[in-house]
Amino acid sequence: MIYALFARQAADYKLDESWIKSGAMAVISASQTPDIRPVRIWLIAVAALIAVMVLVGGATRLTESGLSIVEWKPVTGALPPLNEMEWTRAFEAYKTIPQYRQMNAGMSLGEFKTIFWWEWSHRLLGRVIGMAYLLPFLWFLWRGAFGGELKRRLWGIFALGALQGAVGWWMVASGLSERVEVSQYRLATHLVLALLIFAGIVWTLRRLAEAAPSTASLRLKISAVVLLALTFVQLYLGALVAGLRAGKIYNTWPDIDGGFIPSAARLFFDTPWWRNLFENTLTVQFEHRMVAYTLFVLAFLHAIDAVRSRTGRATIGGALWLLGAVSLQATLGILTLLNQVPMDLALTHQAVAIVVLTLAVVQAERLTRTERRPVERKIGQPAALAR
């Protein structure tokens, strides 16, 4: 009896101990639950600012305003001219470059102010984005909000953002001495780098979301990645078209230069041949059209494959949304071309391009995911508890 009593008490003690341990583990587990909402809100805000920045940059290009500020002053340049003397000084500096002498000779000070404000707004927005990224990033780092993988990715995005500022001035500098516009190579580099940063933020946001690993077929995964890569190619070609003003030269569709496929002699008249791919206005616009057709066909096949494979509502929905956005973008491109690139259509075309890129990034991330989510520490949580 005594033995049985002690055995029962021992069993009760073990049960209580087990209950206490399980309760303690539950408390610890709850304290380790990631609270990444502030990080997500921050990244969404930065991504939205970058999208606005791209559209302001497009308007700056369409209004021929990008060379109105001929100096790069990262700090003091944040202030615009504050009196007539400073406005006159800025206008006189603009008069020294070829664009003024060859395109805008006789421009009034009031007309100069119009193009100045576009370029100044573009640069100011770049500074705002830099601060909107850097200051919260440093605060989150101080609070220990990031795990190793996320921290490395965010440092990489920061490095690309710092590079973007230098690339922006490198682009502007190309139009200050011998040209009346910036180099189309540098313009395309500047735009694609901005959208690469944007895509990196969208990808990171997706990785912070709770989602099951993809069970899609290898073919579906490959087509999603190819769609994303092809979208970047199309964005680069679109920037070349804008830089060369090729959209204002050939304004017929579906024919271009008298046929659906122009003659080889017209497409490749320059030497070496590869220069035509980047400098021949006919060739660049033809490339842009052909890649658009390819993108549409691939998006259509990807959507059909997703529906037939029954890989899940999210994958099917993502494929169909992407196909719809690509279709809308192609339609806007045609309308923009036929109407000789009016600002409203051109900017809408550019805005939908950002939507296409966003959907392509989301679909590619969804289908290539191999784990649920990297575990990040709760903001302000001690590192010891996170281990």
- Band of the pLDDT at 372, cuts 50, 70, 90? low
Q: Which pair of structure tokens corresponds to residue 232?
A: 């970047």
Residue pair 175/99 in contact by the 8 Å Cβ criterion: yes
Q: Which helix (H) or strand (E) holds 348?
A: helix 343-368
Nearest C-alpha neighbor of 329 from the set 234, 255, 245? 234
Decide if 19 contacts 376 (C-beta within 8 A): no
* End-to-end CA gap in the chain: 46
One domain, residues 229 and 371: yes
Does residue 7 form part of some domain?
no
Q: Are 381 and 144 in contact (CB under 8 A)?
A: yes
- pLDDT score for 333: 96
**Which tokens hold the place of 38?**
């502030």
In a domain, 40, yes or no: yes
Mean pLDDT, range 237-255, rounded to an integer:
93
Contacts for 337 with CB less than 8 Å, ≥ 6 apart: 247, 250, 251, 253
Over the chain, what is the mean pLDDT? 87
- Residue 312 sits at φ, ψ, to 5 deg, of 125, 155
Do residue 75 and residue 189 come from a single domain?
A: yes
218 and 105 fall within a common domain: no
Residue of 230, 212, 231 lying closest to 314 (CA atoms): 212
pLDDT for the residue 215: 81
pLDDT for the residue 210: 73
Cα 161 to Cα 154, 186, 233, distances in angstroms: 11, 16, 20
Domain boundary among 185, 209, 233: 209
pLDDT band at 370 (very low <50, low <70, confident <90, very high): confident
Q: What is the pLDDT of residue 4?
A: 46
Residues 155, 244: one domain?
Answer: no
53 and 133 assigned to the same domain: yes
Name the phi and psi angles at 44, rounded to 5: -60, -45
Domain assignment present for 142: yes
* Residue 31 counted as domain residue: no
Query: Residues 134-188: pLDDT tens digits?
Result: 999 999 999 888 888 899 999 999 999 999 999 999 999 999 988 889 999 999 9
Q: Are residues 324 and 368 in the same domain?
A: yes
Q: Give me the pLDDT at residue 379, please.
A: 52
Q: Which of 209, 241, 257 is the last residue of a domain?
A: 209
Residue 1 lies in a domain: no
Mean pLDDT (whole number) for 342-363: 97
**What local confidence, expressed as pLDDT, does residue 60 receive?**
94
CB neighbour list of residue 343: distance below 8 Å, 6 or more residues apart: 59, 62, 63
**Domain ranges, residue 337:** 212-375
Whether 323 has a pLDDT exceeding 60, the answer reads: yes
Structural domain contains residue 270: yes
pLDDT of residue 48: 97
Q: Give 383 or 249, the one with higher predicted confidence.
A: 249
DSSP assignment of 241-299, as one string?
A: HHHHTGGGT---SS-BTTBSS--HHHHS-SSSGGGHHHH-HHHHHHHHHHHHHHHHHHH
How many structural domains compose the chain? 2
Contact indicator for 292, 256 with CB cutoff of 8 Å: no
Which two structure tokens, joined as six digits, stand for 161? 């953002």
Count CA atoms closer than 13 A to 49's CA, side-chain side: 22
CA distance linking residue 245 with residue 190, whole number of Å: 17
On whether the CB atoms of residues 144 and 383 are closer than 8 A, the answer is yes
| 190 and 223 share one domain | no
Condensed to tens digits (0 to 9), the pLDDT of residues 9-47 reads 444 434 344 433 444 433 333 334 446 889 999 999 999
Residue 12 belongs to a domain: no
Phi/psi for 75 (5° steps) reads: -100, -65
Same domain assignment for residues 296 and 201: no
Q: Quick one: 187 and 220 in the same domain? A: no
Chain-centroid distance, C-alpha 147: 24
Last residue of a domain, one of 153, 177, 209: 209
Residues 181 and 256 in one domain: no
Task: Looking at the structure, tell me whether residues 67 and 187 fall in a common domain.
Answer: yes
Q: How far is Cα 25 from Cα 100, in angstroms, rounded to an integer? A: 71
pLDDT per position as a tens digit, 188-237: 999 999 999 999 999 999 998 877 777 888 999 999 999 999 999 999 99
Binned at pLDDT 50, 70 and 90, residue 115 comes out as: very high
Structural domain contains residue 223: yes
CA–CA separation, 49 vs 143, rounded Å?
24
Residues 340 and 313 in one domain: yes
Handedness of CA 135, 141, 145, 148 (dihedral sign): positive
Give the contacts of 322 (CB within 8 A, at least 6 positions apart). Answer: 227, 299, 302, 303, 356, 359, 360, 363
Q: What is the pTM of this model?
A: 0.86
- Range in 178-187, 212-221, 292-301, 323-332 with the lowest mean pLDDT: 212-221
